[in-house]
Amino acid sequence: CQAPIACFAQLQNNNVHVRGLVSDVTGDRVLRATMTGPRIKAEHLGIQVAEMLLNQGAEDILATIDSQI
């Protein structure tokens, strides 16, 4: 795997806390997003985190990495 991306979900009581990260290969540009909500909405929370990262510029970072490999 060449792309520095991560997702971590943690269940606490009836809520899920989802964290996502996208970085360039040097670590100079790191994007982070988090959401917390009811565990029955876990999939939706994950999608929201991904959309937040895309809105911050994750697609540009991933395209740059893709062109380098």
Tell me the pTM: 0.87
Q: Rounded to whole angstroms, how far apart are CA atoms 1 and 8? A: 17
Q: What is the pLDDT of residue 53?
A: 98
Q: What is the pLDDT of residue 1?
A: 59
> pLDDT (tens digit, 9 = 90+) per residue, 13-58?
999 999 999 999 889 999 999 999 999 999 999 999 999 999 999 9
Q: Is 27 exposed, middle or buried (0-12, 13-18, 19+ CB in 10 A)?
A: exposed
What string of DSSP letters covers 16-46? EEEEEEEE-TTSSSEEEEEEEEEGGGHHHHH
Residue type, 8: F
Q: What is the pLDDT of residue 3?
A: 75
